[in-house]
Amino acid sequence: MGPGGISTEIAYVLGQTGGLSRTPADVFNTVYLVFLILGTLVGVVVIGYTLTKAWRYRDDGERDDESESDKVVRPVLGHLPTGSGGGKKLFVSFGISAVIVLSLIVWTYSALLFVDDTPPEVAAEGEEPLEIEVVGKQFNWEYTYPNGHTEEPTLYIPEDRPIRLKVTAADVWHNYGISEFRVKTDAIPGQTTTAWFVADETGTYEAVCYELCGSGHSAMRGDVVVMEQEEFEEWYANTTDGSTSASVNSDVTGDTDANANTNAADPAATEGEA
């Protein structure tokens, strides 16, 4: 599948007409917003309805049982349950809720495909993603760039360019996440997971560990510095002390298939550059 194949369609499904500049963060924020609105709506309606009914049918000692609810058979001590009506209403509301839930989830499925896909070219110039390896260790993050350069504990990245992360751990289970860019993935010893994101604004952000990993877990944070593209290129040029063979791997154009992120343990890929 070519770059942006699936994702173009998804961009379409998601109603983005503004070109390819969607990022996982945008997708998350859209889906979250829709869920929040619908969730609040459903919550207010259901809880409102429940409260109204409860109040309406309170036993204030005034309502005459017989006249108002002649159809209701009250439970009697020691009697086996007999069927109680209301089944139809039950199924209608159940049906409605099922439709809401199912359509919401089906709709988000396309978003999932987008996020799980390899990063598309976002910039008009067709810039390929920057692939960075991340190793979590008690209690820090270590980054390896395509040229073999390693950084710790700060991540330097260019703005507006897809960043593809290959994440693993050296000791225990961690979880790598940058809240601002809505990217997160597990860092598991012996496994490699992938995730991608785009930083659309320069500045300093935070990468945080989201899985309990020991006594220093609460402090396992590192800065993420987003630079303008030229600034980054400059910085990056000064780091080319890594091995040249590493560049092979940096050639990740959009040609990897959609399943690339599904490969499980592939320590060889990690070691190849270290």
Name the token pair of 141. 């993050």
Q: Which of 210, 229, 250, 256 binds other proteins (CB under 8 A)?
A: 210
Residue 185 interacting with other proteins (CB under 8 A):
yes
Cα torsion angle, 40, 28, 112, 191, sign: negative
Name the token pair of 1. 């599948």
Cα angle 230, 239, 219 (rounded to 5 degrees) comes to 95
- Closest approach of Cβ 84 to other proteins, in Å? 4
Residue 44 interacting with other proteins (CB under 8 A):
no
Q: Which of 2, 12, 94, 274 binds other proteins (CB under 8 A)?
A: 94
CB nearer other proteins, residue 226 or residue 246: 226
Q: Which of 13, 20, 123, 258 binds other proteins (CB under 8 A)?
A: 258
- Closest approach of Cβ 187 to Cu ion, in Å? 9
Q: Which positions from 117 through 156 interact with other proteins, judged by CB under 8 A?
A: none
Cα angle 111, 116, 119 (rounded to 5 degrees) comes to 100
Site string for other proteins, 50-79 (x = CB under 8 A): x--xx--xxx---x-x--xx-xxxxxxxxx
CB nearer Cu ion, residue 199 or residue 209: 209
Q: Which of 17, 66, 67, 84 binds other proteins (CB under 8 A)?
A: 84
Residue 184 interacting with other proteins (CB under 8 A):
yes
Q: Are 228 and 202 in contact (CB under 8 A)?
A: yes
The listed partner (other proteins, Cu ion, none) that binds 198, CB under 5 to 8 Å by sort, is none
- Closest approach of Cβ 173 to Cu ion, in Å? 8
- Long-range pairs, 5-11, Cβ under 8 A, ≥24: 6/113, 6/114, 6/117, 6/258, 7/113, 7/114, 7/117, 7/120, 8/120, 9/110, 10/110, 10/111, 10/113, 10/114, 11/114
Q: Which positions from 214 through 233 interact with other proteins, judged by CB under 8 A?
A: 214-219, 221
- Closest approach of Cβ 196 to other proteins, in Å? 12
Cα angle 96, 97, 103 (rounded to 5 degrees) comes to 90
Q: What is the 3-state secondary structure (H, E, C) of 87-119?
A: HHHHHHHHHHHHHHHHHHHHHHHHHHHHHHCCC
227 conformational bin, left if phi > 0, alpha if psi -120 to 50, beta if neither: beta
Q: Which of 81, 124, 238, 268 binds other proteins (CB under 8 A)?
A: 81
CB nearer other proteins, residue 20 or residue 258: 258
